[in-house]
Structure 1
Amino acid sequence: MSTVVTPSPDMRGELTLIDAMLDEQGDLTAVERFTQFHAGEQAPLRGGVYSSLLPARTPGPGQQYAFEVDLDRCSGCKACVAACHSMNGLDEFEAWREVGLIVGAVAGLPVLQHVTSACHHCLDPACLSACPVDAYEKDPVTGIVKHLDDQCFGCQYCTLACPYDVPKFHAKKGIVRKCDMCSDRLEVGEAPACAQACPHEAIKIRVIDRAEAVAVAESNSFLNTAPAADYTMPTTRYLTSRPAQGPVRAGDYFRNEPEHAHVPLVVMLVLTQASAGGYLFEAVVRAMGGDVPTALPWLSLVLGLVGINASLLHLGRPLYAYRALIGLRHSWLSREVAAFGLFANIALAHGVALWFRPDVLGLSAAAAAATGLLAVFCSVMVYHVVRRPFWRGGRCASKFFGTSVVMGLAGALAASGGGQRLALGLAAVSVVKLALEVSVLLHLRDPQMTSLRRTALLLRGPLLRIAALRLGLGLMGGIAMPLAVATGAVPVAATWVALAAVLGGELAERYLFFAAVVRPKMPGGLAS
């Protein structure tokens, strides 16, 4: 007969470290529990169905399937990751399930808690609402969020929209892929690969009430260190008997690395916004009865068309670009595509009018400017709605519309061969735009490691050279050279040099827009 030793509290009523370790030794190990469970004649064989990992019934009205993860049982062995990788035929560096860490303290003792996570099959999936081609569907019975590979054209917008970093882009296939809870196995009464492979049975499938998931999301009790749950309302349930009583953080809390820069999008955004700015300047000048520089409309047209076509290079499957309008009712990316399509057609019509209908140039220029600015607004919303602080609201709008104004003035200055008012206007707007961009560095003083502080640290650290290039080109092309032009200190040809410098500076700024943003995700492993 075994004797159970009850740890005794110290003088303050708290367990000492040695008592806690003795208490842990009195429990069975995970391997011993596993062996004991499968030793009986009535227990299922290892290769069979694990009934304890599955719900006894299918979801009813107001319910759905969900992962249930016992954090106390997860040892971080990554058997679930390997099983998912093998079952779904993933590539070497591809993973639909990941294991991270939460570190902190419980009752004065240090704690390291492993967290296994995959798709949370949210009640309001951001991937589904963001996708412009409706490549996601949420099963009305099971609640499983599935990705339709054949429908996807590889825009990767869902990877920006998901706050848990679930969808993964597969460059060779040109599409995004993700966990579907092994729905084909669930249909025949088998547990998902990750659940069946876990030696500690830390992962289970349960039927949950959707109202319960809403309550968890609204109470912010989803999981410590995870992104806020009120955005997509994830359904995964994390269980633990060791609630943190002290500060906790993700294992990769101190890791801060630049994100992918999406170069085709950098080119597309800058050139299309420059084009919209050029048409805006032209429309204002025509409305005031002034003379429009001959080269300006053609420069605006070329920049716009090159920018729009550059966006195709970002797609994993550009031949299916025509599908982008499918999600017009719910996806800002679809609305952006529609707006730029309208803008391109009106810009082309304006180009035709330049040759054959000079009497309607005022109207066509105004239409091009209006649709161009509408498309820029849609671009702002594409990034605003994904809830990354560096991309939110006014900050994003100041960058995008600021690029339109700065590039429009720089283009007009070059096309007209100079002009004091144009030069001074460009210098003034450039000062304001650069000041707004640099203001993010004020977050270096944030007492907490906020998202914007991380962005500021990136700009001062690994992205410093590009940030310095952006500032240098902006100062030279947007301020110094225009002021020299205004005073007549440089030849007229310098205006084209100023335009090139401003363009280079805006491209560098947009590169930083993507590279310096902080990606929300589930807790990761220890930072190296």
Structure 2
Amino acid sequence: MSDRGFIFDYSRCVGCHACIVACYNQNHTEPPMAWRMVVNGNPVKIPLKGFINLSIACNHCIDAPCMTNCPAIAYSRDDETGAIIHSSLKCIGCKYCTWACPYEAPKFNPDKGVVEKCNFCNDLLKGGGIPACAAACPTGSLTFGEIKIEANLSKPGFPEVATSPRINVANESINDSLPEMAIEATGLQQSDFVETYSHRIHPTKEIPLFIFTYLSAVLVGWFITFYRLEKISLFSKISFILLFAFAGFASLFHLGKPLRAIRALLHVKSSWLSREIALFGLFAFSGLLYVFTEKPPLFWFSVVVGTAFLISLEMVYHVVRKNYSTPIHSANTLLTASTLFSLITLSKAFVLLATIKLLLYLVRHAYIQKFYPKRVIFSLIRFLGILIPLVGLLFGLIPANIAPFLTLFLIGEFIDRYEYYASIDTHNPFQSI
């Protein structure tokens, strides 16, 4: 495999975007879709703050997270050039690779329902040429040639993620000599300017996912309560089946190509997303079979599979950047399922589990400096959704009909799971330059 790749010189890049235009021309992409981007350390042009640019695209990493994590095996490596090639015909549009890549190289094309990315100008490389972006750079800041591969590039614009990217950089020390903004000279405060970043993970963008993950925790927690029933009621059977169907159906709306959803099962060997989907299907099969037959061996098998399913669901998010300091989030699905089970069965374990959830939630919110009216209201509802059932169980105030307490708890969990997607984002070059 070739040890050739991009070479970028911070001191020469003037942010002219010639590399992006060359990429457009070579690959026939159309704005706003851009396989290469220029990241600027001062995007809103704050006076006297200084400028540093980084031209970046897919770095065709040795340990490519997009290829490892893609559930549909839509990525492959060209052994001759080292290029990571994406197949739009195999892509299901799950966007998981856009989460896994720390360089924001894979881009989701909503018009096509699939991901697109830089292909290293692979045809040019095989013909003895170099990528169009490097050939078009007028200052020589972006070139192509023999490189020394480093597992982790601790350079401006490169997140602390070990992927062994095919890129070397030069003169990064220029970042240390950038001037500080002189407030006295300009009369401007730093806070007057907001350097915005469009988050790739946001709760309003991930509604199908947060509904699916929330219902998954509810389904597993509810299912475990069936052990104490001599016979499952017809109403419970129908409700359980409908909830399962709705959860599975909701997850399809996250895909750009839902008719290719079956391909998500192809990469169980290394993709946590593929494992999650496989275990969800197995839990659905065994769990629903138990609901109809009520055979004890099926119950215990389903409990094991359901637990493994929630573990794999949480592991899907190992690729993201977590903006909270606690070991786990209070909306952790395995914790939610366990707490729900203990509440329905009025187990004393609920006191411990609810207390853990409450502390995790309070610690996370202790670091929030800005409070908005809507956030305060929803946080209060979420807080009471744990506190009231906890106090009710401690002091024996929960009546035989626990429906009001259960409803309040589920509403609180719904809010918390929504907040989870506001607490995570991808690793990206915007956060480190």
Write the distance in 2 (CA, Å) between the matches of 1:273 and 1:309. Answer: 16
**Residues 1:322 and 2:254 aligned together:** no
Instruction: Decide whether the 8 Å contact of 2:93 with 2:256 is kept in 1.
Output: yes
User: What secondary structure, in the 3-state scheme, does the structure 2 residue paired with 1:116 have?
Assistant: strand
Give how far 1:146 is off: 1.1
Write the distance in 2 (CA, Å) between the matches of 1:155 and 1:335. Answer: 14
**TM norm structure 1:** 0.69
Deviation digits for residues 217-273 of structure 1 (CA, Å, limit 9, x no counterpart): 35x44x2242124x2111111122854546899x99964665322111101111111
Instruction: Decide whether the 8 Å contact of 2:389 with 2:409 is kept in 1.
Output: no
Matched with 2:354 is: 430
**Residues 1:399 and 2:332 aligned together:** yes
Matched with 2:405 is: 498
Give how far 1:472 is off: 3.0
Matched with 1:140 is: 79
Write the distance in 2 (CA, Å) between the matches of 1:488 and 1:425. Answer: 14
Change (3 A) 1:87 1:468: farther
Change (3 A) 1:486 1:114: closer
Deviation digits for residues 406-433 of structure 1 (CA, Å, limit 9, x no counterpart): 33345x36xxxxxxx45x6546533321
| 1:337 pairs with one of 272, 277, 285 | 277
Give how far 1:489 is off: 6.4
Write the distance in 2 (CA, Å) between the matches of 1:510 and 1:200. Answer: 48
Matched with 2:140 is: 201
Write the distance in 1 (CA, Å) between the matches of 2:64 and 2:103. Answer: 11
Deviation digits for residues 175-194 of structure 1 (CA, Å, limit 9, x no counterpart): 11111122223333444332
Give how far 1:77 is off: 1.1
**Residues 1:273 and 2:217 aligned together:** yes
Give how far 1:300 is off: 4.2
Matched with 1:260 is: 202
Change (3 A) 1:199 1:245: closer
Q: Which amino acid aligns with 1:320?
A: R
Change (3 A) 1:245 1:76: closer
Matched with 2:156 is: 224
User: Which segments of 5 or more consecutive residues in structure 2 lack a partner in the other structure?
Assistant: 43-47, 181-189
Matched with 2:300 is: 366
User: What secondary structure, in the 3-state scheme, does the structure 1 residue paired with 2:151 have?
Assistant: helix
Change (3 A) 1:515 1:90: farther
Instruction: Decide whether the 8 Å contact of 1:434 with 1:474 is kept in 2.
Output: no
Instruction: Decide whether the 8 Å contact of 2:60 with 2:166 is kept in 1.
Output: yes
Give how far 1:468 is off: 4.3
User: What secondary structure, in the 3-state scheme, does the structure 2 residue paired with 1:404 have?
Assistant: helix
Matched with 1:13 is: none
User: What secondary structure, in the 3-state scheme, does the structure 1 residue paired with 2:4 have?
Assistant: strand
Q: Which amino acid aligns with 1:308?
A: G
- Mapping for residues 21-36 of structure 1, pairs under 5 Å: none
Give the number of aligned pairs. 413
Deviation digits for residues 79-116 of structure 1 (CA, Å, limit 9, x no counterpart): 2223323433334322211112347xxxxx97522111
Matched with 1:85 is: 24
Instruction: Decide whether the 8 Å contact of 2:208 with 2:254 is kept in 1.
Output: yes
**Residues 1:349 and 2:258 aligned together:** no
Instruction: Decide whether the 8 Å contact of 2:81 with 2:126 is kept in 1.
Output: no
Q: Which amino acid aligns with 1:465?
A: K
Write the distance in 1 (CA, Å) between the matches of 2:218 and 2:137. Answer: 54
Q: Which amino acid aligns with 1:437?
A: Y
Give how far 1:435 is off: 1.7
Write the distance in 2 (CA, Å) between the matches of 1:370 and 1:408. Answer: 15
Give how far 1:467 is off: 6.7
User: What secondary structure, in the 3-state scheme, does the structure 2 residue paired with 1:334 have?
Assistant: helix
User: What secondary structure, in the 3-state scheme, does the structure 2 residue paired with 1:264 have?
Assistant: helix
Write the distance in 1 (CA, Å) between the matches of 2:324 and 2:244. Answer: 23
Give how far 1:509 is off: 1.6
Instruction: Decide whether the 8 Å contact of 1:274 with 1:304 is kept in 2.
Output: no
Q: What is the percent sequence identity of the aligned residues? A: 28
Matched with 1:473 is: 381
| 2:171 pairs with one of 215, 228, 240 | 240
Instruction: Decide whether the 8 Å contact of 1:133 with 1:327 is kept in 2.
Output: yes
Change (3 A) 1:407 1:89: farther
User: What secondary structure, in the 3-state scheme, does the structure 1 residue paired with 2:3 have?
Assistant: strand
Instruction: Decide whether the 8 Å contact of 1:426 with 1:478 is kept in 2.
Output: no
Change (3 A) 1:507 1:228: same
Instruction: Decide whether the 8 Å contact of 2:76 with 2:84 is kept in 1.
Output: yes
Q: Which amino acid aligns with 2:216?
A: T
Q: Which amino acid aligns with 2:160?
A: A
Write the distance in 2 (CA, Å) between the matches of 1:392 and 1:131. Answer: 28
Matched with 1:440 is: 364
RMSD: 3.4
User: Which segments of 5 or more consecutive residues in structure 1 lack a partner in the other structure?
Assistant: 1-61, 104-108, 355-359, 414-420, 445-455
| 2:5 pairs with one of 47, 66, 75 | 66
Matched with 1:126 is: 65
Change (3 A) 1:511 1:394: same
**TM norm structure 2:** 0.83
Change (3 A) 1:492 1:474: farther
Deviation digits for residues 40-78 of structure 1 (CA, Å, limit 9, x no counterpart): xxxxxxxxxxxxxxxxxxxxxx53331112222211111
